[in-house]
Structure 1
Amino acid sequence: MIKNNATGHRLVEKGKYEEAIGYLEKAIDYAYKMEPALIDLNHEIKLDDHMGAPFNNLGWAYNELEDYEQGLEYMEKSLLILPNQDWEYVNKGNALYGLNEYEAALESFDQALSMGNEKYAYYGKGRSFYDLGRYEEALEQFDIYLSMDETDLDGFEGKVYTLLQLNQHEEASRLANDIIRQEPDNYEAYRIKAGVLEYTEDINLLKEHYRSMTERFPGHTEVYAQMIASYSMLGDFEQAESSYDAAVQKDHSNADIHIAMGDAHMGRSMYVQAAKYYDQAVQLQPQHEESSINKLRALYNARRNYQCIAFGEEAGKQEFSSSLIPWFTGQCHFDLEHYAEAIQAMERVVELDPNDDDAYATLSYSYYMLEEYDRAEEYWEKSLELYSGNSMALYIEDLLQDSRRPLGERIKHFFQDNYLYIASSPDVDTILSELDKQDMTTAEIAAVIERAKHPQDMFTSVIYGDEYDRLTGSIEQDVIYEDQGTIAYFRIYEFNFNTDDRFIEYLDQIPNPEAKKLVIDLRGNTGGNMDSANNILDALLPECVTSMLIERDGYADSYYSDADYVAFKKIYVLVDGDTASASELLTMGLSTYLPVVTIIGQDTYGKGVGQRVFEDKANRIMVIAVNHYWNVRQNNIMYSHISPDIYVKSSKLEDYMKLVKAGR
């Protein structure tokens, strides 16, 4: 045991942490044989000094690998084996610091100092105070640490950044310059100075400093990653791209360069581009967990759900410890309404992180949508136990309580809460009170809603029985894509919940879109899900507000497009008199924000409202109630229409496409 522990200790000191763990685990196995009580130890026990050493060293190794939960676990056991040493409390403090438990870390560092004068306890306190925003106290601790070790650059770096936070910029700059004078050949000294220039936002001095760094340290390609991060933070994206190009020419195999460029694109909400850079890092370092998480995060934010799932499931086969990989995979399944698959992924999340209240809430919602109400209740309770303010769990709680009411009463409350014209519908309360009757049939409920809606409302309806079965049966293909050479042709028949995902999946497969014409055929498309239409706009538009939904109380809900988009040489939208609602929103959004859009066809229907849906699968009924108006840049087409740029009397596709091919 002593030999394995000593070997492990030396390997940790040399930075060979993985190798060290193997020796230290062997030492611990031998300790368990010598003292079986150590296996499930939960109280203090006094043993020879060497018995606790391998636990301490193993905790240290895991800390260095940034696996702080494992590090803390072994440190806790080390501290149960008496007598204790000050460095054990330092290691525990470092684990707690890594877990962002700064107050607890301070207590552990203070305990170390009560037993001796371990210098790293002062350094640990300095970092903890810094992250707590207690900069005066942090500066005091860094000064004590540096008085004990005048050569440690980590201590100087901590002091420099603390001075910056205290707005002592000149002092921070002087200290950084002093470090360079003392360590003229030390790359880290120049890196610290670059941080000072970045913080003070002196872009010209920063560029000159980075130029000197690349000349003085040609072998340190990591400087380019810092350059990319600095220029991106300062808003000079052109300079960040130049730094990336220079780095790639020097060493394309440096994963950190690609990660930095991915981060730069994420900061600009260019998620699709970010995912491409993160993917290069993954290709170079398949075992690097953070790169996989970054790529998943980018794909999720870009609403590339199918790509996110495919990559997440592949990454899930690796021995990664982070719950974020199944979390992103599960969220993408959830957004696609793949509830069984979402449940499978989220169960893995809570296995890795039992304190994830959002994962329990998603499990609850998924079970609710599968009408497994007992399981839904079990998980929303777990979510709220962890965080009483979880909005999704509270929403599910309301849904579950509502599900216990009679069907008629539930529909009455839905209509009262959501119907846009409730205030202008005559005798609506009296009519809706009929829904309080017990054991109403779906036909009777439909008749009440028909009488309760506004006389001029053509868009509110109730679907039940055989008609419900036909509507909710297997959904016909809602998106068709054809590669016609220089033309990318899409036919969208209706907007379902996943129409946007299917459209975007095809969109990302189009080579050189900027050289092609995009045709979106919306003839006969009477609308559907507004989220779906807005998400397609997000994929095709630069940064803007794609639309705004306005409810009866004046509450407005805006949809946004991020900076990332797929650009085409020309876009044609094909419409007719049946093109309505979400189809009109898509048409209007594209023509409002893009100069390359031409609308071909006939005047559209003119439906500037959207609906909200109540559905009860067990009773085979769906209530579709007008809920809001929608605007694109303050324009609404209710009781009006969209006029095409080019009129076509014919209903034949070939007559439309002649104009597209002619470049009209």
Structure 2
Amino acid sequence: MFEKNNVQNNFKKQMKELEKELIQKEKLESGAFTNPYYKGRFYGYTDLDTKREFLGKVKTIVFSPTVITIVAILIIALSVSWSNTSNNMIKAYESGNYTKAIEYCDKILSKNPNDFNALAYKGSSLAYLENYEEAIINLKKAEKIDFDTSLYFEIGYTDYELQNYNEAITYLNKAIALDNRYLDAYIFKAYSLVALEMYEEADKCADEIMTFYRDNAYAYNIKGLTNTYRENYEQGIENFEKAIEFYDEPDGSRFEVAYINKAWALYNQQSYEECIEYCNGIKTSFVNCYDFPYYLGDCYSILGEHEKAISAYEEARKLSPKDSTILSRIAFEYYYLEKYDKSSEYVNKSLSLNEEDYEATILTDMLIEASKPENERIVNFVKENYLYLDKVVDFDQKSATFLEKQEITLLDIYNFLESVRLKDDNFTFFIFDEYYDMMLEEDLNNKLEYKTLSDNIQYIKIDSFTIGIDEQFKSVLKKLPNPQEQTLVIDLRDNPGGLATTANRMLDFLLPECVISSMVDRTGEIFSYDSDKNLISFKHIYIFVNEESASSSELLTLALKTYLDNVTVIGRPTLGKGVSQKAFESKKNKYMIFLVDAYWNVNEISVSNQKIQPDIKIKGNELSHYTDAMEKHLLGK
């Protein structure tokens, strides 16, 4: 009956509301400089370019038995003026001039408030103008006069836009009862069920579509949505690819929404490098779609590639200049590059479009803190985060002395930190000058080492857990044929740790659904990392450790040992670092403060008081010493 597009706008509005409610207090581990308030964007688009013809409403309703008498009277009574107004209403509607169509509808309704066509056209026109509240009032009035399949569908669709999903399903079912092959009704019923998280019922809708329309692109899109929401990412991607394959329009157009949804599934799967490759490869086919550069920005941001993220977001901004969230994302990238003036500029642009923009509001407070004198910022950083603050003697006095300095040197910062650091706290420290440069260089060039040791034995050496190592790790694992028949070796010798976020993401690839680890700060607040049900299983996993394996190395080892029954640890007792650190960085002055801010545990097991004891102890530290012990263990099985 009526054509509708851009259904995804409803989801975007919905998730913007949820963003305001779901304030996450994420902890940045060991210098993770990505946006702590970052939200995975809500995709799973349900837009479609289907046309619902008006079905000659005059014919289908005028000749219905329930109104034949009224029609006869109207034919006699209506003037030429009324006829012209009715024709003009239809012409304005069909030409897309919905505001004008409403004016003609109102003229007719002023003379006959119960004119079915005027109510139906007005309701549809209002829906096109996204005034769904007024639209549903007029459509419901029309329903009291008469009904047909198209009207039921239009009411169901408008209820869907109003997020009245149960009501939408009721009316869409009425449309299906009158026409059991009504494709649009099945589609939007399924989308309503998805919104209600009734995924099995949504799948049934898709299956019903398939009984009438085999290999239907929209049915595959629905199954892609339900699988992705249930974290069945591979199946979700497969269904989106089928939706793309079987989309067949006379004009040769592509199923843009399915392409977007594939990017959404890759992103939620944490396949960031793959998502980047995919979006870069497809965006030229959809030059007016801002979603692909937006996803690129999101992925680059998570990988810590802030300049690339800004470039991608700017590309998205050109296509969607009124989106305040894009501006706030750009502002965050400039913030992490310590370009505070540019960050502030984009925050103001974001708030000028939407004064309630969540991320811009959060960043405003962060920029206020960034504008304070450096010594004040350092004092606040220690006061808010140091795990052992309550044990520091005369902290206020030491802070006051530090704050009195008009200008501070690296030596001043070092002396202040040493004055408040507990003597037995070996994990709070200060890196500056050439050591800072060396650390950045190591992080930038850090690559895992991968090789095949022998048939069905795959070896991965990880020197530290920096940004991007998890992506490299996942890329290697996904390329392995039949991993369940392979033995995996993870070499963590001399690995001092790094980002807990990176280690937890790596664990997510290997573990079933569980709470991987928990961070507990000095107030007792707990932040947990979770694993979904998707995992890559191996026949056996060996982990190589020594006394220099610490922090995130221990976290990864302990979690694998705790949650899997096919893990063997070879080497010597680990360092026993059961705490995490938060970082304060100055790119301008080339230094970084690492401050102990929380305890971590795996299933309430901590390594702070007990190091990880290997299952097989060895004395040597050469790789051959470890592989020899592994081979003996393999032969002994």
Shift of 1:84: 9.8
Structure 2 counterparts to residues 132-143 of structure 1, below 5 A: 140-141=140-141, 143=143
CA contact (8 A) 1:273 1:564 kept: no
Structure 1 residue matching 2:512: 3-state secondary structure:
coil
Q: Which runs of 5+ in 2 are unaligned?
A: 6-47, 53-84, 248-252
Query: CA 1:408 to 1:320, structure 2 compared with 1: closer, same or farther past 3 Å?
Result: same
Alignment-mate amino acid for residue 330 of structure 1: G
Moved more, 156-165 or 262-271: 156-165
TM-score (norm 1): 0.71
Residues in 1 aligned to 2:582 and 2:104: alpha-carbon distance in whole angstroms: 55
Say if 1:86 and 1:111, in contact at 8 Å, map to a contact too: no
What secondary structure, in the 3-state scheme, does the structure 1 residue paired with 2:488 have?
A: strand
User: Are 2:542 and 2:570, in contact at CA under 8 Å, matched by a contact in 1?
Assistant: yes
Per-residue deviation, 1:300: 1.1
C-alpha separation in 1, matches of 2:515 and 2:300: 26
Aligned to 1:511: 481
Q: Does 1:465 align with 2:433?
A: yes
Residue 509 of structure 2 corresponds to residue 542 of structure 1: no
1:276-297 per-residue CA deviation (whole Å, 9 max, x = no partner) reads 4323444555832111110111
Deviation at 1:429, TM superposition (A): 2.0
1:482 pairs with 2:455: no
State the partner residue of 1:586.
Answer: 556
**Aligned partner (choices 294, 302, 312) of residue 279 of structure 2:** 312
Mapped partners of 2:334, 2:396: distance in 1: 34
Counterpart among 227, 231, 234 of residue 265 in structure 1: 227
Measured in 1, the distance between the counterparts of 2:101 and 2:490 equals 58
Task: Please give the alpha-carbon distance, in whole angstroms, between the structure 1 residues aligned to 2:231 and 2:121.
Answer: 37
Aligned ranges for residues 62-101 of structure 1 at < 5 Å?
Answer: 85-87=88-90, 90=93
2:407 matched residue in structure 1: 439
Q: Give matches, 1:330-369, under 5 Å.
A: 330-369=297-336
Q: For residue 306 of structure 1, report the CA deviation from its aligned partner.
A: 0.8
* Contact kept in structure 1, 2:509 and 2:534, CA below 8 Å: yes
Q: Unmatched 5+ residue regions in structure 1?
A: 1-11, 18-61, 67-81, 97-103, 199-224
Identity %: 30
Partners in 2 of 1:613 and 1:167 — Cα distance?
48
Tell me the distance in 2 between the aligned counterparts of 1:560 and 1:108.
57
Q: SS at 2:277's partner residue?
A: helix
Deviates more, 1:120-129 or 1:509-518: 120-129
Structure 1 residue 588: Cα displacement: 1.7
Q: 1:419 to 1:160 in 2, by over 3 A?
A: closer
One of 198, 202, 209 as aligned partner of 1:233:
198
Where does residue 154 of structure 1 map in the other structure? 150
Q: Which amino acid aligns with 1:482?
A: K
Contact 1:92 1:105 in 2 (8 A): no
- In 2 relative to 1, CA 360–128 (structure 1 residues): closer, same or farther, beyond 3 Å? same
CA RMSD of aligned residues (A): 4.4
Q: Is 2:360 the partner of 1:393?
A: yes
CA offsets 1:50-96 (integer angstroms, 9 cap, x no match): xxxxxxxxxxxx98679xxxxxxxxxxxxxxx999323665699979
Residue among 601, 609, 622 paired with 1:639: 609
Instruction: Determine the C-alpha separation between the residues in 2 that align with 1:403 and 1:553.
Output: 24
Q: Which residue of 2 aligns with 1:122?
A: 120
Q: Secondary structure at the match of 1:604?
A: coil
**Per-residue deviation at 1:530?**
0.8
| CA distance in 2: counterparts of 1:94 and 1:302, whole angstroms | 43
Which stretch shows the higher mean deviation, 356-365 or 401-410? 401-410
> CA distance change for structure 1 residues 230 and 424 in 2, over 3 Å: closer, same or farther?
closer
Superposed CA deviations along residues 198-257 of structure 1, whole A, max 9, x for unmatched, are: 9xxxxxxxxxxxxxxxxxxxxxxxxxx99x9899935489x979969x979x966x5445
Write the distance in 2 (CA, Å) between the matches of 1:123 and 1:84.
12
Shift of 1:171: 9.8
Return 507-516 or 268-277, whichever deviates more.
268-277
Q: Mapping of 1:521-532 within 5 angstroms?
A: 521-532=491-502
Q: Is the 2:217–2:243 contact (alpha carbons within 8 Å) kept by the matching residues of 1?
A: yes
Question: Are the aligned partners of 2:139 and 2:151 in contact in 1 as well (CA < 8 Å)?
Answer: no
Pair 1:427–1:298, CA change in 2 (3 A): same
Matched, 1:278 2:240: yes
> Helix, strand or coil for the counterpart of 2:224?
helix
Structure 1 residue 529: deviation in Å? 0.5
CA contact (8 A) 1:87 1:118 kept: no
Whether the 8 Å CA contact 2:102–2:121 is kept in 1: the answer is no
Q: Does the CA-based 8 Å contact 1:126-1:158 persist in structure 2?
A: yes
Write the deviation string for residues 81-136 of structure 1: whole angstroms up to 9, x where unpaired: x999323665699979xxxxxxx999997577458846274276389799968999
After TM superposition, give the deviation of residue 402 of structure 1 in Å.
3.2
Q: Which one of the candidate residues 422, 430, 443 is aligned to 1:454?
A: 422
Normalised by the length of structure 2, the TM-score is 0.73
| Matches of 2:496 and 2:460, distance apart in 1 | 16
Q: How many Å separate the matches in 1 of 2:389 and 2:499?
A: 22
User: Would you say the 8 A contact 1:126–1:140 is kept in 2?
Assistant: no
Q: Which residue of 1 aligns with 2:63?
A: none
The DSSP-based 3-state class of the residue aligned with 1:317 is helix
- For the residue of structure 1 that corresponds to 2:461, the secondary structure is strand
Aligned counterparts of 2:540 and 2:488: Cα–Cα separation in 1: 6
CA contact (8 A) 1:601 1:647 kept: yes
Structure 2 CA distance for aligned equivalents of residues 396 and 169 of structure 1: 38
> Does the CA-based 8 Å contact 2:187-2:206 persist in structure 1?
no
Give the Cα separation in 2 of the matches to 1:290 and 1:170.
Answer: 22
Contact in 2 for aligned 1:363/1:379 (Cα 8 Å): yes
User: 2:503 matched to 1:533?
Assistant: yes
Taking a change above 3 Å as real, the CA distance of residues 110 and 575 of structure 1, as seen in their structure-2 partners, is farther
Alignment of 1:208-223 (within 5 A): none
Deviations 1:313-336 (A, max 9, x none): 112111343322211111101111
Q: 1:339, 1:369 within 8 Å by CA — same for their partners in 2? A: yes
Give, as a single letter, the amino acid of the residue that structure 2 aligns with 1:338: E
Query: Relative to structure 1, is the Cα distance of residues 645 and 63 closer, same or farther in structure 2, using a 3 angstrom cutoff?
Result: closer
Q: Equivalent of 2:595, from 616, 622, 625?
A: 625
How far did residue 613 of structure 1 move? 0.2
Match of 2:10? none
Contact 1:259–1:281 under 8 Å retained in 2: yes
